[in-house]
Amino acid sequence: MNYSTQMDAARKGIVTEEICTVAKKENMDIKDLMHLMSKGKVVVPANKNHKKLSAEGVGKGLKTKINVNLGISKDCCNVNLELDKVKKAIGMKAEAIMDLSCFGKTQEFRNKLIAVSPAMIGTVPMYDAVGFYDKELKDITAEELLGVIETHAKDGVDFMTIHAGINMETAQIFKRNPRLMNFVSRGGSLLYAWMNLNNRENPFYEYFDKILDICEKYDVTISLGDACRPGCIDDSTDPSQIKELMTLGELAKRAWKRNVQVMIEGPGHMALNEIETNMKLERKLCHDAPFYVLGPIVTDVAPGYDHITSAIGGAIAATYGADFLCYVTPAEHLRLPDLQDMKDGIIAAKIAAHAADIAKGIKNARDWDNKMAEARRELDWEKMFDIAIDPEKARKYRESSMPEDKKTCTMCGKMCAVRNMNKVMEGKNINILRDED
C-alpha cells in the first residue's frame, strides 16, 4: 500500500518504520499515535531523503522536544565551528537542529549536516534566498523563492519554517496597530519588505498550494512561521499576532487536506501572565496542531541570561500546551552563539522541557527524578553524576570542594540531613563531632 507522507500513512493504517520508532521512544501504543497523527495533533517530521534520521514525534501526549539553532552568517562563517556544534548537539541528544545559515556555501553545509544527523533537521528557506541567488531582495522572484524551498526539500530537510501568515490582510492590521519593536522575525521581516518593495502579496501565501506540492512530494513538515511574533513583552498578544495566528490555523487545514504535516510557531517575548492564554488560543485557533515556541522570553532586561528567561517561559508554555521548545542561548540578542553558549542553551531548554513533562503527567517523566532521589538518599555520588542532566558540570563542582566526610558535601558536612537520617533509620549514632566508630 503506497503513501505520500507520514500523515497519509497514519490515515491509511500503514505502520511506517518512523512511526514504530516514535511509538517505541514514547512508550505509546502505535494505534493511539497514528490516530493523533491522522488528526494533525502529532507530527513525525521525516523527509524521504534524510537517511540518517532517527524519527521523533512532536505533539499532544508526547514528551516536549527541543530544537538547537546553528548555521553560518556573513560575520561568522566558520563552517568547522558549526560542525563542532552539530556534533555537540547530537551528543547532548537534542531532538532537532535548525540550520539558519544565510551566507556562503549554505547547501554544502546543509548536506553535511543532513548526512551526519540522526536529529530532525529544519531550515528557513527565506534566510537562504538572497545568498542562494546572489540577488538583492527586491529582485528575487516569487518563482525563485519557491525554488529555494524545493532545493531544501530535495536535500532532505525534515521541516521548514514558512512565513505564509504575513499576508496583505495581516500587514494592514500591523500598520493600523503600531508596535514598540515592529517585526523581529528575520524571515517575516524579509517577506514584509519584499511585499512592500514589489507591491505584491506574500508569495508563500499566494502560492501556498505549490508549497504543499513540494512538501507532499518529499514529506516535509511545514512549520508555519510567526512573522508577527512579539519581540518585546509590550507587543505580545496584540492584533497582529492574533490575526496571523488565525491565518495559520486556516493554512493548517489546507495542508492537512493534502496530507502535509504542520506545526505552528509561536512567541516570542511575553509576560508570564499571558503565556497560558496564548497556549490556549493557539490550540483553539490552530485546531490542536503541535505548537513550537521560541522561549517565550519573559523579560526584556537580561541580555547574557536569556537562556534563563527563555527556560522560565518555556517551562510554563509547555505545561499549558506547547510541544516543541526552540532553545535560546546566553548570546541571544548579542552575537552568534559559541560552543559553550550552545551547551548552556541546550541544558536550559532540556530542563524546561522535562519540568513541563512532569507537570503534564507525561508517562514515565518522573522516573528520571525518582532515580536521582534514590541516588541522593544513598549518597551515591557516581550514580548522581550518571543521572544528572549535565554530568560534567556536576562532577566539576563536586571535585572543586571535597568535604572531610566523603559521603557528604562541603555545604553541610556531617550535618548532612541525608547522612544523618540514614544513620538514624539504621539505628546508628550520628557522630557529628567525633570520628566514626
- Give 4-36 pLDDT, tens digit per residue: 999 999 999 999 999 999 999 999 999 999 999
Q: What is the pLDDT of residues 140-195, one digit of tens each?
A: 999 999 999 999 999 999 999 999 999 999 999 999 999 999 999 999 999 999 99
Domain hosting 411: range is 402-437
pLDDT for the residue 72 = 82
Contact 355, 325 (CB under 8 A): no
Asked, for residue 133, whether it belongs to a domain, the answer is yes
| Residue list, annotated binding site for substrate | 69, 98, 127, 163, 185-187, 226-229, 265, 292
Residues 356 and 414 in one domain: no
| Residue list, annotated binding site for [4Fe-4S] cluster | 409, 412, 416
Considering the chain, what is the average pLDDT of its residues?
A: 96
Q: What is the pLDDT of residues 92-143, one digit of tens each?
A: 999 999 999 888 778 999 999 999 999 999 999 999 998 888 899 999 999 9
Residues 429 and 349 in one domain: no
pLDDT for the residue 437 = 52
- How many Å apart are CA 67 and CA 80, to the nearest integer? 20
Answer with the one of 295, 327, 360 that is the final residue of a domain: 360
Asked, for residue 29, whether it belongs to a domain, the answer is no
Residues 245 and 125 in one domain: yes
Residues 252 and 353 in one domain: yes
Query: What Å distances lie between residue 307 and 169, 182, 185, CA to CA?
Result: 34, 23, 18
Label the pairing between strands 159-162 and 291-294: unpaired
> Quick check: 63 pLDDT over 70?
yes
- The pTM of the full predicted model, rounded to 2 decimals, is 0.95
Asked, for residue 351, whether it belongs to a domain, the answer is yes
Answer with the one of 300, 330, 360 that is the final residue of a domain: 360
Considering the chain, what percentage of its residues have pLDDT values greater than 90?
A: 91
Contact 403, 410 (CB under 8 A): yes
pLDDT for the residue 11 = 98
Residues 347 and 432 in one domain: no
* Residue 141's CATH number: 3.20.20.540
Give the cell for residue 63.
Answer: 514528551
Residues 191 and 85 in one domain: yes
Domain count, the chain: 2
Residues 176 and 64 in one domain: yes
pLDDT for the residue 51 = 97
Contact 280, 321 (CB under 8 A): yes
Is the N-terminal amide bond of 296 cis, ω within 30° of 0? yes
Q: What is the pLDDT of residues 306-318, one digit of tens each?
A: 999 999 999 999 9
Q: What is the pLDDT of residues 301-357, one digit of tens each?
A: 999 999 999 999 999 999 999 999 999 999 999 999 999 999 999 999 999 999 999
- Cα-to-chain-centroid distance, residue 118: 16
| Residue list, annotated binding site | 69, 98, 127, 163, 185-187, 226-229, 265, 269, 292, 333, 409, 412, 416
Residue 141: which of 185, 96, 200 has the closest Cα?
200
Residues 87 and 196 in one domain: yes
| Three-state SS letters, 300-325 | CCCCCCHHHHHHHHHHHHHHCCCCEE
| Three-state SS letters, 106-138 | HHHHHHHHHHHCCCEEEECHHHHHHHHHCCCHH
Asked, for residue 166, whether it belongs to a domain, the answer is yes
pLDDT band at 405; cut points 50, 70, 90: confident
Asked, for residue 19, whether it belongs to a domain, the answer is no
Asked, for residue 135, whether it belongs to a domain, the answer is yes
Residues 302 and 430 in one domain: no
Contact 352, 371 (CB under 8 A): no
Residues 408 and 356 in one domain: no
Asked, for residue 258, whether it belongs to a domain, the answer is yes
Residues 409 and 275 in one domain: no
* 301-316 as b/e: b if 16+ CB within 10 A: ebeeebbbbbbbbbbb
| Residue list, annotated binding site for Zn(2+) | 269, 333
Residues 199 and 131 in one domain: yes
